[in-house]
Structure 1
């Protein structure tokens, strides 16, 4: 059953991601050509800023989810309800913290994006605040689908709304070139997708209900102890992965930021695809860890080294493919005026290899 659900999750994730990747290429080109480098830069920088703000999450979702695997294996409905309620309130607290950080971060926008008009920067920033907060307040029900290896049900719903989002963005870019409307359609579709999942959740998991939780419940879970380790991991990844766009915007301007964004847009799509493949295994591994049988315990090491080997091959393939295909693909996609030097591509490929080989 674990293997079957893993393959189903992987098939849905890969199939939907490939189509969305193609649509993403179209929307990215239209964004750059129809709205200009200033709007593109504002979008990239604001996205990276909110990656920094997401440090406020501390990895609380990961800590609670791995506790949840144990209760799902034990079929303890009471504990499952309690952990889901804790997850919901934890994410609401994170949402409030991110809202506070967003207010503080707004003051830095003129310094980070010196050649982007203030009204444009703050408009894009405000829309991103709404989008991010909607996610934190509505996304919590997805956890049960992930932990029970039914993530493909959420993937199907997300796929429909993501396609709708991309088609709406294409239509706006071509016929109603208004960047406020362009970014707003993503917010509306994201909210609708989460509402559909919330409605389905009540039918799929009727035994999960809201219960009262206190700060003592979080302490009893040991969550504050574990968060120290997740925080270091999350902080280092965020600083390493999200600072390049902000530094480029400040020092190189909107044109250089857009050039870099075209390359990172491709790598981000490939990384999302790879992460979804890896996430398809996550719930199965979590269930194996909490399976108390002797056979499952003997299987743990084999699964780990198998995943390690997979990361090596995947990283090698991605890095080689980038080195061979990045420049000709970029020229065909965006045009010869949007290429960065080959030296940059080489370093970029090595960085991707190291990242994937240690995933």
Structure 2
């Protein structure tokens, strides 16, 4: 049942993301040709500011989902109600905090944009972004029980439908009015409706959520929850700063136009990351269930399987991005929207190193190891800001992404695996690092090989060049990986899961 739930979550999550991918590119293309790159830069900057404001979340979502695993497995309705009551009160307060802090930043917006801007009503645009973020906290808390109960596919279905329904009027508005205020207002309305619909769906799936009750956590449970929450908050700070400051630093030191150019790359990278995240996020609740019920040998094997899948997927995507991202953007938008290959290298390296953390992050969150090394994320956050600012002055915006990579490698790369291997698997972490380095070297060698073939054997017509490079990227890495790993236990286990995805009726 655990694997079947994960498969359902993967299938519907990926399907939904493909829909979002197609609609996202259509809307982005219309956006650029109707409003221009400067509006795109403002969109990216305000999105990053609101990501920073999400610190007010404090890690409640992860702590709550982790806390729900056990009561859901044991059908402990009272404890589930108590946790949801706590979550509801907390998120209403969080929504108010986000709105208050967000409004207080209004006077400082000009200092976050390097150079003059021709965009009118900049404050109103920011307020609409802020409302979209703040209002979501009043509905989104009920998603946690659906996720913890291994039913992500329910949310994926709803999101796919709303993606189609909401993006069609956005495209019409962009083409007919070219009014960014009208577009943002429409986005806010649809986001509120979607969140309210998901909350209502949770009520139908778990009728006891609608019951009037005064359920509250026992003193010991509250203490443990807040201890985990405090540790998660520190990780939250680090994650938000590492992922959310890039656009802000680029805007301050290079200008809002560079944010707009980078946002096209970010759209592609984040779409791929989100698509892949459905694969791993869909199994998070199952891993949580695994960690409650299974032996340390079973946990270790599943960790190796997830880590191997991580390498294959992110390695393959890194190879494709290096060979295809600039030719694609050149064909899609024009050469004036291209970044040089050193910047592209830094972006892809950041993407790969972030992705390779998935296995350790999943196990750290589902085993409750929140308190181990809880102050290290603050070190990562500080390093990221300092190194990014220093490097952008010396090597340009590539330094922002390399700063992110350096901070990640200095903290998360070694410490998270160390803690998991010591306290969950009870074995040496040395083999994990050897495997990580071997995987990375193999990815680098394959990038060099595919780039050599793509650059030297066919490089004429733009469309044919992309088709040819796509074929090379699809065939060469997968053949190399298959030859090297076809007999490994991890590959055989994954292959069995793939066959089950085709048959869906089987379970492992």
Contact between 2:39 and 2:119, CA under 8 Å: does it hold in 1? Answer: no
Find the counterpart in structure 2 of residue 246 from structure 1: 248
| Alpha-carbon distance in structure 1 between the residues aligned to 2:142 and 2:315 | 36
Contact between 2:99 and 2:131, CA under 8 Å: does it hold in 1? Answer: no
| Equivalent residue runs for 1:55-134 within 5 Å | 55-113=55-113, 114-117=115-118, 119-134=120-135
| Equivalent residue runs for 1:69-218 within 5 Å | 69-113=69-113, 114-117=115-118, 119-208=120-209, 209=211, 211-212=213-214
Find the counterpart in structure 2 of residue 318 from structure 1: 317
Q: CA RMSD in A?
A: 2.0
Q: Cα–Cα, structure 1 residues 119 and 217, in superposed 2: closer, same or farther, change >3 Å?
A: farther
| Alpha-carbon distance in structure 2 between the residues aligned to 1:272 and 1:85 | 30
Q: Cα–Cα, structure 1 residues 111 and 217, in superposed 2: closer, same or farther, change >3 Å?
A: farther
Which digits, 9 at most, give the CA deviation of each residue in 1:172-225, with x for residues without a partner? 111221111111222111111122223222221112345446798697242332
State TM-score, norm by structure 2: 0.67
| Alpha-carbon distance in structure 2 between the residues aligned to 1:330 and 1:137 | 38
Q: Cα–Cα, structure 1 residues 117 and 109, in superposed 2: closer, same or farther, change >3 Å?
A: farther
Shift of 1:46: 0.7
Shift of 1:255: 2.0
- Kindly report structure 1 stretches of 4+ aligned residues shifted beyond 4 Å: 213-219, 295-298
Contact between 2:58 and 2:233, CA under 8 Å: does it hold in 1? Answer: yes
| Alpha-carbon distance in structure 1 between the residues aligned to 2:173 and 2:8 | 34
Find the counterpart in structure 2 of residue 268 from structure 1: 270
* Structure 2 residue 306 is matched with structure 1 residue 304: no
Shift of 1:330: 0.5
Shift of 1:282: 0.8
State TM-score, norm by structure 1: 0.93
Which digits, 9 at most, give the CA deviation of each residue in 1:265-293, with x for residues without a partner? 111111111112211101111112223xx
Contact between 2:45 and 2:248, CA under 8 Å: does it hold in 1? Answer: yes
| Alpha-carbon distance in structure 2 between the residues aligned to 1:308 and 1:165 | 36
Shift of 1:348: 1.4
Secondary structure of the equivalent of 1:137?
A: coil
Find the counterpart in structure 2 of residue 30 from structure 1: 30
Q: Which moved more, 1:206-215 or 1:247-256?
A: 206-215
| Alpha-carbon distance in structure 2 between the residues aligned to 1:191 and 1:245 | 26
* Structure 2 residue 222 is matched with structure 1 residue 220: yes
**More RCO (CA 8 Å, sep 6+):** 1
| Alpha-carbon distance in structure 1 between the residues aligned to 2:191 and 2:332 | 27
* Structure 2 residue 72 is matched with structure 1 residue 39: no
Structure 1: which 5+ runs fail to align?
Answer: none
Structure 2: which 5+ runs fail to align?
Answer: 359-508
Q: Cα–Cα, structure 1 residues 148 and 39, in superposed 2: closer, same or farther, change >3 Å?
A: same
Find the counterpart in structure 2 of residue 5 from structure 1: 5
| Alpha-carbon distance in structure 2 between the residues aligned to 1:250 and 1:122 | 18
| Alpha-carbon distance in structure 2 between the residues aligned to 1:314 and 1:233 | 25
Which digits, 9 at most, give the CA deviation of each residue in 1:210-251, with x for residues without a partner? 544679869724233222321222212211211121122222
